[in-house]
Structure formats: structure tokens, C-alpha cells
Structure 1
Amino acid sequence: MNERLIIKSFGPVKDLDITFKKVTLFIGDQGTGKSCVAKLFSMFKWLEKVLTQKKYKLNYFEQYNRFLTMLCSYHRIESFVQNESYLKFESKLYVFVYSEGSFKISDKNVEVDGLSKIMYVPAERSIVSVAENKTKLLKELPDSSETFSDEFVNAKKYFKSGYELPFEGLRFEYDSLNEVGWISGTGYKVRLINASSGIQSSLPMCMVSEYLSQMIADREEIKLSKEEKDKLEKRVADIMQNDAISDSIKDMMIRQLSSANRYDCFINIVEEPELNLFPKSQMEVLRSLVAINASSDKNMLILTSHSPYSLAILNMLIMGSKVYERAGEDVKATVENILPHVYHLHENEVAAYRLSYKDEKYCESVLNTNTGMIAKNDLDSCSDEINRTFNQLYRLYANTFAK
């Protein structure tokens, strides 16, 4: 965690140098690059994972312009590259740098202690609710949407007895025989394709997130092809039969191989979790995502948002943590009744950035260093502007027409 990403002149992203934490939020106007940053983070974390698994040699992605044609094209951001583009991502295990048309990878030679399951939840996710059969998905969507659709199919199989949405007492049930999803509420039942846009947007996001979190908690091993299994068995045999290696080193190497084939954390990258949702439902969905993220110390939650409610909700969760940590047992019990600690966010675990072309500084943290809370920003100021305009009009109305 606390991984660093530097971007200069890449698509809509002007210039930023940021650190990712357990929960990282991006806000800003349309087209300022929030999703681009999230996609680059997703791309580098996937690259870290496959290199850790030894599926590719380091120089594989450095050759034949694969950085663009294979990595960036997955999210359809290959056209964002400019002559002056510069990217650097530094994780615990690797350093990735793209500069002057060249991509380089440096291995830090740090012992691997597990793999990350990475999920990019796109803003176009409602399409997987409408197209219940994956083959009906629009071909124009990027590969990341198809990956998300695959995981939604897996989630429907996992929750074969049904899934409770985090708001309005709604329940999802899947008829696997006829490949039809149903939403049940108080006194009604409709097909998922006929449900509200908020349900169609939130159900795949919540369901896939919880499914993948449970998969990590169950310590499920990665499914390997026969070729991959054969390679793994050969590597184990080579280690065990090498008399030049001590038993303690052999044990360490075998543990590393095991770690490289088992997920131990979930990195959830969600575009606009608030899409088409009523404010109260936004709160319940966001709390659900935070609770899923809290199920492991290694999990990470990356969010992009246009909703001022998202900021208020996160501040509420941070405040819950601040009160709970300083309280005696009696007050803790009260806090638990108001806001269960599974939703609490420690201020040191949160990063929040605003991207804007309007200000002198394109990327700026919106966390108040004194309070640890998300400070007043552009999303809040829009409400102020609406109120000011209303008050001006009201005074004019009162002075002119109400006499």
C-alpha cells in the first residue's frame, strides 16, 4: 500500500504525483482524467500480478510496443499517449516507467507474500444487467467490461440461493436454467432487465465486489491451465532436487510459489458508485463497499465520483473511526449503534484528490491535514452557488412581485 503513481501528459491527465492508500477517491469535472488514472492503476497492478506469477518475463512487455498494444488497449487508452507522455508507478515489488516511447520494468527483488485480485468496475456496468446473456454484450465495449461481465456471471453462480442488495430490502435471484435475473421488493417481483437504472447499475457492482471478497476470504487458489500446472510442478521438482539449495531456502522458495498462486487481497476499482442512485441508497452502497474493503488489511478500494454525497459519506465514516478510537466502552457501544465499526475509516487509510483544469494546480489533495477529513471543494461549492442564485432570485421575487 502507499503506492506512488506519476503521470505527465497522458490523455486528459495533465500532471500529477499521487499516493494510493487503502481507500482512494478521485473527484473532478467530466473529462479531467479520473477514470484514466484509475485505469492506469488497474493496469499496473495487473502487470505486477502476472509478473509475480512468472507468467511473463520482464522484458516481454518492454518489447514490440506491447505497453500500448496489449496493456493500454485493454482499457482503450492507447490513443492517450503523447510524445511527451511520462508514467511511473512504484509498488512494493516493481517500478514501471514509460518515457519517450520506451517502457521499462525494474524488479525490487522483494519476497512475494500473495497475489491481488484486481477488479475494474466500469461506469458502463449496467449493460451486464440488461444483457443477461454475455454473448449479447455490445462488441464496442472495452475488454475490461467483458472481464467484469465474466465475474458477474461467476457471482450469479456463487449466490445461487439469492443475493440481498444493501438498500431498500431488495433481493436478487437468478434462474440459471433460463438465464433470467429477478429483483424482489416489498410486494413485487420484476425481471432485472425491467428494474430501475439504479438497480441495474448497483447490483453487478455490489454482487461482484462481495463475491470476489468472499473468494479471497476462502483462500481460493487460482485456476491453472494444464500447461501452467505442468510448469509449476516442474519448478517445484527442480527446487526439491537441487542439492545445492539448503532445506530452509527450499521451504522459502516453495512458499513463494504457493503465494504466487493464491489470492490474498482484493483491489476494487469502482467508477462512480453513485450512478442513478437516490442519496440514501448511495450511502448504503458506499458503506457496503467500505465494509468489503475492510475484510482484509491488504484490500484496496479506488473510487471516482461526481457526487457530493460520496464525500459526506466518507467523512461520516472517518468521523465514526475518530470518535470510536478515543471513546470509553460506554461511548463505543453508542457509536456502534449509530455506525457499526465495520464501516469506520481511519484517516490515515484515506487519500482524496481533486482533478481540475480550472485551477493553477491540476491535481490537489482535498484532505484537511489538521482534521483528517475531506475538505470543502468544488463538489460542495456547486451547492453554495445554487443557494446563492436561489437567494438572489428569491429576494428579487419578494421585492418585486410579492408586494
Structure 2
Amino acid sequence: MNERLIVKSFGPVKDLDILFKKVTLFIGDQGTGKSCVAKLFSMFKWTEKVLSQKKYKISFFEQYNRFKTKLCAYHRIESFINEDSYIKFEGILYDFLYENGNFNVIDKHKDINGISKVMYVPAERSIVSVAENKSKLLKELPDSSETFSDEFVNAKKFFKDGYNLPFEGLRFEYDSLNDTGWIYGTDYKVRLINASSGVQSSLPMCIVSEYLSRKIAEKEEIRLSKEEKDKLEKQVAEIMQNADYSDSIKDMMIRQLSFANRYDRFINIVEEPELNLFPRSQMEVLFSLISNNASTNENMLVLTTHSPYSLAIINAMIMGAKTYANADEALRKQIKDILPENCQIEAENIAAYRLSYSDKCYCQSVINDQTGLISKNELDSASDDLMRMFNSLYMYYAKTLTK
């Protein structure tokens, strides 16, 4: 983990040098590049995955401007490339460098067991609730939205007995026969396409995240095409027929082939999890996402947010982990009653960055070095401004009463 991304002059991204950890958070005004950075991370993690699977050769991505026409185009960020754009990503298995119009990939020649399932959850996710399985409404969106829609369909089928949303006691059920989703409250039932905007934005995000995290926790093997199956069978046959290998070496090599075709980590990249949600519902949704991220040590969660509640909730999760680490068994039980262990975030496992054109430094960490928490002044600067405005107006109001 702790993968590094350096970006200069790419669309709205001015200049940054950051590390991605188990949980990585981006805050900032609209249009400052939060989603752009998240999309770059998603793009490089996907490229690293397919290269490690040997689905593509390095030369495929280095040639014919495919960095722009294939990789960036997937997220509709190809127009962000400038003449002086510089992008470097230092991954686990590969390093990627875009400089002076050229794209280069460096193989680190490292081996890890299993591969990543990379999921980008777009802010436009409500459309898959309205469209349900009608792809014609998705054609104007980036390819990443279509990929997310496909996983939403898979998740609905996976939870065939229903799925409980993390807030307000709501439940989702899918009628596969009629291709219709239903939302059940305590005393009502409504079609998903007629549900509230908060339900329409949060259901796809939550159900896909839980579906994929469960699949990874269960070490599900990747579905292979016929060509890929034939290739794998040929590799196994070559190993078994090689008289130079001992039985123990053959077993080890076949296990490695198996690991190379099995997901073992979930890279979940979520835009604005708070969309259209009441603050308490925002908290329950974040609990769900953090809990899913904690299902394996290798999972990673990237969030972009405008919500001060999201930052306050994350701070509570960091404080929970700090308190839990220092507590005895009796106190730990009380802490878990307040904040379950899978919703706690250890300080070394989180990175948080503020992107802003108005600050002297465009990108800066907002984690306090002493406390390990997100800095207080980043939690809700708008509330401070409103309070000062209110106090000034109140003073003038008081003066009007004395006349």
C-alpha cells in the first residue's frame, strides 16, 4: 500500500504529490480536481491489474497514444492532457510515467498473490436506479458508468433474498422476472425508480460495494473467457509434463497460477458518498463503506466529499481506533458497543488531502501530525463564516431594538 501519485498540469489538477493508503479522502471546492485524481488512481490500478494478468503487453499501452485514447478516454478525461502535463504513479507492481507526450510503464518484477477488483462509483450513479437495466440511458456517460451499471445488475441478482440499506430501516428487493426494483419502508412499498433521490444515489453504491467486498472475502475466482481457460489449461499441462520439476515444485507453480486468477483485494473509489442524504444517513453509509473496506487487509477505499459530516465521522472512526488500541479488555467491549471494530480506522491507514486554488499550496494534507485526526479547521469552514455573519447581523439587530 502507500502508493504514490504525482501530477502536474492535468486538467483542473495543478500540482500534487500524494500517497494513497487503506483509506484516502479528498476534500475541496467544486472543480478543484478531486474526481480527476480519483479517476487517475482508478485508471492506473486497473492497468496494473490487467498487466499482472498478462492480458496486455506493456507495449500495447505505450504505443499509438493509447494513454489518451484508451486509458484516459475510459473516464472522459482525455481532454485534460496539456503540453506540459506530467503524471507519475508508483504502484505495487508497476510504475507509470506520462511526460512530454510519451507514456512509459516500468515492470518492478514483483509477485503478489491474487489481483485487484477495481470499482469506480461515479457521482452519476443515480441514473442506474432510474434506468435500472436500460442501457440506453447510459450511453452518454463515461464507460466507467456502464461498468458500474453492470455490477449493479450483478449485485441485484446476488442479493436475491433482498438487501437492507444501512439507514432508516429500508429494504431493497429485486423482482428479476419483471426486472423491477422495490424499496420497502416500515409501512410502505415503492418502486426504486420512484424512490427518494437519497435512496437512488446510495443504493447502487452500497449494494455494489457490499457485493464486491463479499466476493473478494470469499476468494472468488475470476470468470475466464474460453481463450483464457485454454491458455490456463495449457500452462498447467506444461507444468505437469515437465520431468525436471519435482512434485512439490509442480504444486507450488499450479498454486501460483490459481492465485493469479483470483481476486484478493477490492479497490473501491467512491465519488461523494453523501449525495442527497440526511446527516445521520451519511454516517450509516460511511459505516457500511468502511466496514466493507475492513473485510480484508488489502482492500482500499478512496472517497471524494464536500460534506463536513463525512470528515467528522471519519475523525470519530480514527479516535475510536486510538482509544481501542490503548484500552483494556473491559473498556474495549464498551468501545465496540459504540463503534464496532470494523468501523475503526488506524491513524497510519488514512490519508486526507484538501485541494484548493485559493490556498498558497494547491494540495495539502489535512491530517494533524500530532493528533492523527483531520484538522478541526477543515471540518466546516462554512459554519464558521455563517456564525461570524450571524453574530454581526445580531449585533446590528440589537442596535435596532434600542432605538
Runs of 5+ in structure 1 lacking a partner? none
Distance 1:164 1:59 in 2: 46
Q: Does 1:387 align with 2:387?
A: yes
Q: Per-residue CA shift, 1:230-284, capped at 9, x if unaligned?
A: 1111122233334455655544433332111100011100000000000000000
SS at match of 1:367: coil
Partner of 1:368: 368
Q: How does 1:27-42 map to 2 (within 5 A)?
A: 27-42=27-42
Aligned AA (2:207) = M
Distance 2:247 2:101 in 1: 45
Equivalent residues of 1:221, 1:262 under 8 A apart: yes
What TM-score, normalized by structure 2, do the two folds share? 0.97
SS at match of 1:288: helix
Distance 2:174 2:136 in 1: 18
Partner of 2:358: 358
Distance 2:136 2:51 in 1: 33
Q: Does 1:273 align with 2:273?
A: yes
Distance 2:94 2:249 in 1: 23
Partner of 2:176: 176
Higher mean alpha-carbon deviation, 253-262 vs 306-315, is at 253-262
What's the CA shift for 1:394?
A: 1.1
Q: Per-residue CA shift, 1:107-143, capped at 9, x if unaligned?
A: 1111131111110000000000000123242311000
Q: Does 1:155 align with 2:155?
A: yes
Aligned AA (1:291) = S
Identity of aligned residues (%): 72
Partner of 1:186: 186
Distance 1:318 1:103 in 2: 38
Equivalent residues of 2:320, 2:335 under 8 A apart: yes
Runs of 5+ in structure 2 lacking a partner? none
What's the CA shift for 1:331?
A: 1.3
SS at match of 1:84: strand
Distance 1:296 1:135 in 2: 33
SS at match of 1:391: helix
Distance 1:61 1:4 in 2: 20
Distance 2:250 2:40 in 1: 36
Equivalent residues of 1:25, 1:302 under 8 A apart: yes
Distance 1:288 1:17 in 2: 29
Distance 2:253 2:79 in 1: 41
What's the CA shift for 1:376?
A: 2.5
Higher mean alpha-carbon deviation, 225-234 vs 348-357, is at 225-234
Equivalent residues of 1:134, 1:149 under 8 A apart: no
Quickly say closer, same or farther: Cα 1:392–1:369, change in 2 above 3 A: same
Quickly say closer, same or farther: Cα 1:106–1:45, change in 2 above 3 A: same
Q: Does 1:101 align with 2:101?
A: yes
Partner of 2:217: 217
Partner of 1:165: 165
SS at match of 1:137: helix
Equivalent residues of 1:88, 1:96 under 8 A apart: yes
Higher mean alpha-carbon deviation, 377-386 vs 61-70, is at 377-386
Q: How does 1:191-270 map to 2 (within 5 A)?
A: 191-244=191-244, 249-270=249-270
